[in-house]
Every structure is written in structure tokens, then in C-alpha cells.
Amino acid sequence: MSKKSYRQAINEALAQEMRRDPTVIVMGEDNAGGMGAPGEDDAWGGVLGVTKGLMPEFGRERVLDTPISESAFIGAAVGAAATGLRPVAELMFVDFLGVCFDQIFNQAGKFKYMFGGKAVTPLVVRTMYGAGFRAASQHSQCLYPIFTHIPGLKVVIPSSPYEAKGLLIQSIRDDDPVIFLEHKVLYDDEEEVPDEPYTIPFGEANLTREGEDVTIVAFGRMVKFANEVADKLEKDGISCTVVDPRTTSPLDTDTILESVEETGRLVVVDEANPRCNMATDISALVAQEAFGALKAPIKMVTPPHTPVPFAPQLEDLYIPSPEKIEAAVRAVAGA
Amino acid sequence: MQLNRDDLLKAYRDMRTIRAFEDRVHDEFAKGGIPGFVHLYAGEEASGVGVCMNLDDRDKIASTHRGHGHCIAKGCDAKAMMKEIYGKRDGLCGGKGGSMHIADLSRGMMGANGIVGGGPPLICGAALTAKTLKTGGVAVAFVGDGGSNQGTTLESYNLARVWNLPVIFVVEDNGYAESTASAWSVGGSQKKRAEAFGMPGLEVDGHDFFAVNEAARQAVEWARGGDGPSLIHVRLDRHYGHFEGDAMTYRADGEVEKLRAERDALNIFRAKVVQAHLLESSQLDAIDAEVAAIIDEAVAEAEDASPPGEVDLLTDVYVSY
Amino acid sequence: MPKWGLAMSEGTVVAWYLGEGAEVAKGDDLLDIETTKITNVVESPHTGMLRRQAAPEGATLPVGALLAVLAGPEVSDAEIDAFMAEFNANFEVEAAAAEAAAPEPETRDAGGVAINLLAMGDKTQDTAPIILVHGFGGDLNNWMFNQPMLAERHRVIALDLPGHGRSAKDASAGDMAALSATLLASLDALDIGAAHLAGHSLGGAVAMQTALDQPARAASLTLVASAGLGRDINMDYIEGFQRAGRRKDLKQVLQALFADASLVSRDMVDDILKFKRLDGVEQALATIADGAFAGGRQASVLGHRLHELEAPVQVIWGADDQVIPAAHAREVPATVKVHILDGAGHMVHMEKAGEVNALIEAIVAG
């Protein structure tokens, strides 16, 4: 056990699974870096260094750099998964989904059903998401609601280094296609992470705080903000439960509903744009299944219905902030 | 590969099975017995069979909208296929895929594909598996002339080349992408496209089983030998429309009748093997009769088979959830 | 502020039992401290008058911070003020030094098994150190209220059994003989001849097996809520512990360990969940449970042989134990001293840490 960053936790999960299972391979743009170039090998280890060191240990046969052709290599990962490998393909930024979505949602996501249950596609697509990097509209989105909408895909959103390692190992061992979303702003966050391999099951929400007054459901980086708000409000006498669902598909609806039954108040924090996102999904769930328990209207804290802006002042306004979450919690708590 | 008599009998049986299957699906669809969309492979038999005769159990293929022929050529069970096309529970895919998604992974058939250009990236992956696990297998992407214009296909040419994958791209050019002529929609040539990506491009007459078979033999030899991908441009014709119900108003008057009379792959095959005294006409007639009986049975069984029940709606989405 | 377990960095004052001016005897309950993992009582280390409560209820202070000042009535308020000022002025420096000197766990090869252990106390103090062995599903942190206190006067080593804590997760041979062999190999690896063996629950059975097999290695034997004295075992607990994958389910299971169920904190449950998720743990626990509790009965009962030992033996139990009945404490020869403590459950060494520590001190003193 030692402190590890979100980046190190992901790297360690990949390395440990590659050691354990020779069918695990990784592929993506510049996953090693420097392919065919005159300078250093393993020059990048991924654009933000997450896969650094894998190529020297496992070789080019298992750490494949790709041309910039997401359609082809994400599709190749799907085909490899359907024929006996366990590929972990990196879609550098989730915003690039637009050029390869077919291979994910029409192929990987549907093989099992279309082929009468006879296909197994143990694919992992790792992808970076989220605002806060001043990366503007095409490198900052939170597109997990789109994946969540597709039956056949599993969608994983780790909120911390411990979560990232255990959920990624589970993703790699899982026999269904998994989309694993890494928030780029979390890569340098650190916490205690076991050295040994471990798994965190899908569809089991984590309660990162337990309180009696308000339930906050949050995803990814927003869990961190929700925890900050819960800790601050605890001192002011408002005690919050923070639910980190960990996976949006499967979604642990039981834990969300049980918590709302206890607190009677719900704030959903979602960094995805507000139409048809997880906040609306969970709000609808609670309105349908736990309406009688509600003591106040549900509040959703989301960005506005705009692309992610570039200017730092605008981007800061765009992202759901701890201040906005706090205001929402105070509003539902009537305090 | 020198084809012996058994090989020739098998080639003819597979081609005849495809033709009989598709002709019968055409008839039954017109009668209203088959739901949905079907896209028939009749007329293109020499391509699927000529290629797949060079493959074995290690090898994978990905298909197109027009996938029934590839299925049969790769060894899928025609009766289970018919049940699938009828949407029955005992169909090849439990009635959940239908004509456009018909597949049998256990036979190395990775599916017809409802997305034009969906197959080539997948087949790069199948080839990557073969290469990584050193199975000796090769992987074949069948693409239409329409699919040859998709970015996925062109990206796959490049990926297969730079990863040096054991892939064969078979472009089945039947002259029409839906209703649009390939003479208009394809810029440049299929062969030169292949060469531009650094792989050999072969051009063959897709009505001639022997020409296709020889080109595929060469391509498979390259792939198995570690020389990477290649492309075969197969020119052929389809006997029916893009889909069943297509009135084919874009085709010339008498076009289909003429190609059926002059460029029918089965007739050409029969004439060659009989003239060369490789097979007797009576042997081929016997196959025709056997196949006709099997297809009759396939349709009767498919009509009688049970549809999936409500319980089947929710299964097979995930391995675990 | 005491340090209970490696992870503790601060604690919160929950409640004072005594007011300023009260006469205090050594061992009296002074106040309750809450950490993220557990709430426990701080006992007075000395006899005297409680002159100052240095921290109000609700205050959160770092490990090593001043909690109380005990002094005789003859000491003036001014002297106490001066002492407190000096303590607080030097505290940060001392805390940093203490942190740097804090013992770190280490890994030893015990007969081919990587065993994690934590050594505390002065190596030169005793010829025979105290060895602490935790129970099924536990780890060396279970001794957080015992090891630091015993280490003030003794060398004390707590270890993680195979399949547990940070020891190797391969417990392929998980029966009593194998666990005992690993304990002996650990002693060998540490160049320890005889030791005062103390074991809790399954760890008690391991210590007992070791003492009976190698009497020369046992300077004394303390069996805390120990397995190996009777056939009964609460299989709902053993199986529930293995099965529970969610915090809520596990919390309910763990509440059976304590007389005061509220002691089961979020962090305690989280730590055990994290342990159970590690590769190999599920299998190791199943192997050990199958070996020790096959068919819902304890496989190894050795209590009737304790008279064979020349070394002193004692049995300590919580009267409210829901995992192994306290009645098993009576299934021992008359030579064995038996202590049944009220108001404590299976984790008697946590719930009644002061009393258990005193009993271990006493048997070590001979």
C-alpha cells in the first residue's frame, strides 16, 4: 500500500493484468510513442503518460501504437475481442467518439444480442473526458450518457485512484464491452492504493459520505466536489450522503433509492450537458420510484446547454463548482 | 492449390446451395413469409465460394448486407440460417439477428453487417488476434463497391498495412451500391487504391470460380506467409435488386436477363468442369436435386419452427449485468 | 493523543468522563476518542489529580497532542500553565520526530510465505518478546489498542496470517498445522526462540497449536476469545463475512463482533471491503474456513491438552461474544486462568483493551 496517483493506479492495473493474462493487449495513438521515429522509443506513453513503461516491459506486440484512425483501430479492438484477445484500446479523448462510434455501439455493443448470445466481446475502451484543462469544445466533453444509452455496453467512471485501479482490473476481466472514462483533471490526484491487484464490482454504488439530511449523487470528478461540500456542510449542521454510482451501466438504482428514502432530499451533480444526462435519468428514477419520500424538489447541478468554452473565465463558469453544489444542497435542505 | 474432384464437387455444392437458398428466399419473401429486409447474393456465388475454399477453421470472415452466401461458403448450416431469416428461436442467432446480422462465430463467420463498411476494422482485429496468438489464421473482409468508399474500409487498408496483418480485402463489385452505379461512385480503381496503401491488388472476373479461387489462393499464401494484406477486386453481378422489393428501375432493360443467360457463375463452372472431363453432368444434376430437397426441408422447418418468446427479449444483452 | 493503528493521524475528543479536580487512579477511564475507524476510551496512565482538560469535547487533535494534565494539588496553576505552554511550543517538533521514528511494517520470508509484520518496542528489553496473532479475516491492526501500550515495556510483534492483511494471499495449505508452521517460521525468521504468544480467535488456535507442538517456544500463552477450545462456531458470521460484498451487508456482519455494535465505523467496513477485494483473498478465506470450520464445527479442539504446557496459560473472553461462545472458556484444565469480561464481545481486546493489556502484562511478568 502506498500513495499513488490516478495515472499510476491505471498504469499499474494495466501492467498487472498484462502480466497475469497474455491475451491482454493495449492499443492506441502514441500509447508507447515514437513508433518509426528517429528519437526515443516509449517517447510518450500516451498523450498524458498513462501507458508509459508498458511497451518496454511487454513489447510492441502487446503495446500497439496506431495511426490516427480511430474507426479502424477501435474496430480492430472490437474484432480482436470477439476472436480471443482482451484488448484495452485508448480513445485519446472521448470527443473523438464521433469518428468511431459505429464500431462501439453498432458492433461491440450488439454482437452478443444480434448473434443470439453466442458472441463474447471482452473489450475495454479507455478514454479521457471532462472539462478543466482549457482544452475547449472538442477535447473536454462528458459523453458518458451517450454510452449509457446503449444496451450491451458497460460504462465505468472512476472517481479516485483507488477506484480507478480496481474498476479497471474489473473492466479488463469482464466479458462484456466496457467504456472506462478517465477524468483528465484527476490524473495527479493521489491516495492510498494497494500494491496487489484487486477488483471493484460493477453496479455497486459507493457511499463516500453518509448523512441524514440530503443525498448527493455525483459522478467522476464531481464526487470529489460533492465530498468537499458534504464535509463543509457537516460543520454547518447539514449532513449529506454522497453516492458515487461508479458505473452508469449497470446503475445501482437500489442504493440511490434507499438513500433518498432515508434523506428525502436529492441533488444530482453531473458534468455532462443537461439534456438526457445522468442527472435527468436519476431524477426521473427517483420521481417515479420514490416520489413519496421526497421532502423537497430534486435539484440538478449541471453545466449549461452549451459546448465547453475555451476562455478560462467561461470554462470555470461552465463546470459545476463546489459553490453551485453547496447552493443546491442548501436549497433542498431549506437552509 | 490443385483442386481435386472432391474439391470441385464441394465448390459446386456450395454455389448451388447459395443459389437455391437465395432463389427460394426471393420467392418466399414475395409471398410474405419473411419479415424485414433481405439482400440476396444470387449471381455472386463464385466469389464467396472461390475465396472460402482457401480457408479453414482458423480463419475468419466478415461480411456485408449481402451475407447469406458468405455464411454458406464458410460452412454455416443452411437450415439454421433459414430459421434465422424467418425470425425463429432455433435460428442461427436465436431469431435476434435476422438476415442482416446473420453470423456463426464458431464457423469463423463474424457476421453479415447492417453497417456498410462495418466489417473491415473488425477483420483487422481478427487478424491481430491470429497474429498475436500465432494461430496461423488469416482474416477476410468482404466489402461491396459501396463499402469500398467508406472511411472505415480505407482506414483498415492502412492499419492492415502498417500492422502487417494477415488480411485479405475482397471487394465484391456488383456494379451498384444500392441504386448508384459503382462506375460513378468509385474514384480511381480498387487495384490502385490497394497499391497506394502498399499492398498488392488483384483483379478477377467474379463469374469465374477458378479465377477467384486462384487469386484468393495467392492472397491467402501471402497472408499466412507473413507478407501482410492484399486486395482482390472481384467484378460480378447480382441477379436481384439491392433488397427484396427493389424494382430495379435503375438497371437497363434486359440487363438481368442477359447476365443470367451469359454470365451465370454456376453455368460457367458446369461448362468448364464437364468440358475438361473433371466431373460428369449427372454428378452435378444429382447435387442440384439434393440441394433442392435440403432447401425445401429448410423452408418447411423454418415455417413450422417456433418464434422466440417474451423471455428471449431480455436475454443475451450482456454476459453478466 | 494516542496513536491507534498505523493509519491514525488525528483523533476527536468525544466526551470526558472526569472533570477538572477529580482524583484519578491509573487505569481509570479519562475520555473517549473517536478516529475515522473506531471510538475508544483513553485510560489514565498515572495516578493523580486531573488538573486540566487540555482539549474540549469536539476538538480534533493530531497524534501526540496534549489531552490532559495530571498533577498533585501542590503544583501551582502557574506551573501548569508554563508546562502546557512549553509542551505546545515543542509539540510540533516532537510530533515530526515521532512520526519519523514510527515503526513501519516489514515483510519476512517465513518458510517460503511472505509474512507482513509490525515490530514495536525496544529490541533489547525482553529475551522473550510478545507475539500477537489476529483472527479469521483480521489483520495486525486488530491489536491497535494493545500493541502500542504493551510496547512501552516490551518488544511486541504483530503479524498478518497467510491470506490476510499484507501477507501473501496464497493460503493453499490453510489448515491449523500449516498456519502454525508459518508462525514458527516467522519466529525463526526473526531469530526469536521463546515468545509470549497471544492469539485472538483463529489466531488463538494457531498459537495454541504452536505451543503444544513446540513447548520450548512458548514462554506463556494468552488465548483471547480463542478458537480451538470447543466445537461451536457462528457460521452465519464466518460465511457472512466471506459472502458480503457490499458495505451495508458487511457492516451488519461485523456488528456481531462487538458488544457495542456502534463501534463498527465506515472506515472499518471500508478497510475490510478493500481487503476482501484483493486477488486471492476470497480463495484464501475459503481455504482457511474450510480447514478450520468444516461442516460448521471447529475442526481442531486442543483445550484439553493445555495441561501439557509448563508455561502459564490464560484465557480471556468477552461475556457477550456472538462468534465463539464464552462458555468455551470453561473447557480448559484447572491450571488455566480464565477471565471473562463483561460488556465486551468477540473483539474483547478492542472493547476492553485496558483490561486485556493488563492481563497480558501480568502473564508476561510471570
Q: Does residue A156 sit at the B interface (CB-CB below 8 Å)?
A: no
For cell 500465432, the residue is B134
Q: How far apart are CA A202 and CA A157, in angstroms?
A: 10
Region B270-284 average pLDDT: 96
Does B162 sit within 8 Å of A76, measured CB to CB?
Answer: no
pLDDT band at C4 (very low <50, low <70, confident <90, very high): confident
User: What is chain B's mean pLDDT, rounded?
Assistant: 97
Test mutation, A196, A204, A254, A259, chain C, max C CBs within 10 A: A196
Categorize the per-residue pLDDT at C124 as very low, low, confident or very high, splitting at 50, 70 and 90.
low
- DSSP letters of B113-156? -SSTT-HHHHHHHHHHHHHHTT----EEEEEETTGGGSHHHHHH
- Per-residue pLDDT at C63: 87
Candidate from A72, A75, A85 with C-beta closest to B132: A85
Is residue C133 within 8 A of residue C250, CB to CB? The reply is: no
CB within 8 Å of chain A, chain B residues 145-164: 151-152, 155-156, 158-159, 162-163
Strand B201-205 and strand C60-62: pairing? Answer: unpaired
Average pLDDT over residues B19-40: 96
Please judge whether C169 and A198 are an interchain contact, meaning their C-beta atoms are less than 8 angstroms apart: no
Nearest chain B residue (CA) to A66: B159
C122 pLDDT higher than 90: no
Q: Of the given ranges (A178-192, B134-148, B276-290, C34-48), which has the lowest mean pLDDT?
A: C34-48
Domain formed by C10-101, architecture: Beta Barrel (2.40)
For residue A250, whether the previous peptide bond is cis, meaning omega lies within 30 degrees of 0, is yes
The overall average pLDDT reported for chain A is: 97
| Identity of the residue in A162, A197, A207 whose CB atom sits nearest the CB atom of C279 | A197
What are the E-state strand segments in chain B?
60-62, 139-144, 167-173, 176-177, 180-181, 201-205, 230-235
Q: How far apart are CA A203 and CA A153, in angstroms?
A: 13
A103/B104 CB distance under 8 A = no
Q: Summarize the confidence of residues B66-85 as an average pLDDT.
A: 98
Distance from CA of A162 to the nearest CA of C (A): 9
DSSP C200: E
Is the CB of residue C243 less than 8 Å away from at least one CB of chain A? no
DSSP string, C243-288: H--SHHHHHHHHGGG-SSGGG--HHHHHHHHHHHHBTTHHHHHHHH
DSSP summary character for residue A103: I
Positive or negative CA dihedral for B247, B252, B253, B257? negative
Residue C87 has pLDDT above 70, yes or no: yes
CB contact under 8 A, C278 and A198: yes
Sequence ranges of chain A with CATH classification 3.40.50.920: 206-333
H/E segment holding residue A331 = helix A322-333
For residue A46, what pLDDT is reported? 93
Chain C residue with Cα closest to A252? C246
pLDDT in tens, A21-47: 999 999 999 999 999 999 998 999 999
pLDDT mean over C94-111 = 81
Cβ contacts of A198 on chain C, cutoff 8 Å: 274, 277-279
Query: Collapsing DSSP states into helix, strand and coil, what is residue A134?
Result: coil
Residue percentage of chain A with pLDDT more than 70: 100
Contact status of B312 with chain A (Cβ, < 8 Å): no
- Selecting from A99, A107, A114 the residue whose C-beta is nearest the C-beta of B96 gives A114
Question: Residue C291 CA to chain centroid, in angstroms?
Answer: 24
CB pair distance less than 8 Å for C266 and A210: yes
Nearest of B291, B270, B264, B267 to residue B282 by alpha carbon: B270
Q: In this predicted model, what pLDDT tens digit does every residue of C291-317 receive, in sequence order? A: 999 999 999 999 999 999 999 999 999
Q: Is B225 exposed, middle or buried (0-12, 13-18, 19+ CB in 10 A)?
A: exposed
Alpha helices in chain C (DSSP H): 77-101, 147-150, 176-189, 202-213, 235-243, 247-254, 266-277, 281-292, 348-351, 353-365
- CA-nearest of B91, B105, B98, B26 to B67 is B98
Q: CATH 3.40.50.970 occupies which residues in chain A? A: 2-193
Whether C2 shows a pLDDT value over 90: the answer reads no
Confidence check: pLDDT of C102 > 80: no
Work out the average pLDDT over A225-251. 97
Q: For residue B147, what pLDDT is reported?
A: 97
Chain segment A49-104, per-residue pLDDT in tens: 999 999 999 999 999 999 999 999 999 999 999 999 999 999 999 999 999 999 99
A66 contacts chain B (CB < 8 A): yes
- The mean pLDDT value for A106-120 works out to 96
pLDDT band at C64 (very low <50, low <70, confident <90, very high): confident
Q: What is the pLDDT of residue A158?
A: 98
Q: Are C277 and A207 a contacting pair at CB < 8 A?
A: no
> Is residue C125 pLDDT above 90, yes or no?
no
**How many angstroms away from the CA of A188 is the closest CA of chain B?**
31
Q: What is the pLDDT of residue A92?
A: 97
Mark yes or no for CB contact A166/C277 under 8 Å. Answer: yes
Domain A206-333, architecture per CATH: 3-Layer(aba) Sandwich (3.40)
Q: Which residue, chain included where needed, has cell 446473420? A: B102
Mean pLDDT of C48-69: 90
With contacts defined as CB-CB under 8 Å, which chain C residues touch A200?
Answer: 277
Is A183 one of the annotated active-site residues of the chain? no
Average confidence (pLDDT) over B251-259: 96
For the beta sheet containing C337-341, the strands, ordered from the edge strand earlier in sequence to the opposite edge, are: C106-110, C113-120, C156-159, C130-133, C195-200, C218-224, C313-318, C337-341
Tell me what ipTM this predicted complex has.
Answer: 0.94
Residue C54 C-alpha cell reads as 487540555
Closest chain B residue to A24, measured at CA: B132
- Is pLDDT at A264 greater than 90 in this prediction? yes
Residues C193-231 pLDDT 10s: 999 999 999 999 999 999 999 999 999 999 999 999 999
Q: Do chains C and B touch (3 or more CB pairs under 8 A)?
A: no
- Contacting chains of C (3 CB pairs or more, <8 Å) are A
Give the tens place of pLDDT for each residue, C322-338.
999 999 999 999 999 99
Average pLDDT, chain C: 92
Q: Between helices C281-292 and C202-213, what is the axis angle to 10°?
A: 60
Contacts of A162 in chain C (CB under 8 A): 274
Query: Tens digit of pLDDT for each residue in B154-212?
Result: 999 999 999 999 999 999 999 999 999 999 999 999 999 999 999 999 999 999 999 99
pLDDT at res. C73: 86
* Amino acid B29: pLDDT: 96
pLDDT at C100 over 80: no
CATH 3.90.1280.20 for the A2-193 domain, yes or no: no
Name the A residues in 201-230 with CB < 8 Å from any B CB: 203
Neighbouring subunits of A (3+ Cβ pairs under 8 A): B, C
Residues 6+ apart with CB under 8 A from A254: none
A6 near A189, Cβ under 8 Å? yes
Please report the number of interchain residue pairs, chain A to chain C, with beta-carbon separation below 8 angstroms.
Answer: 25
The listed CATH number (3.40.50.150, 3.90.1010.10, 3.40.30.10, 3.40.50.1820) that belongs to domain C106-365: 3.40.50.1820
How much is the pLDDT for C126? 59
With an 8 Å Cβ cutoff, are B130 and A107 in contact?
Answer: no
Query: Which chain A residues have a beta carbon less than 8 Å from that of C245?
Result: 201, 204
Whole-number pLDDT of residue C37: 79
Which one of A65, A66, A83, A149 would you mutate to disrupt binding with B, by most B Cβ within 10 Å of its Cβ? A83
CATH architecture of B5-254+280-304: 3-Layer(aba) Sandwich (3.40)
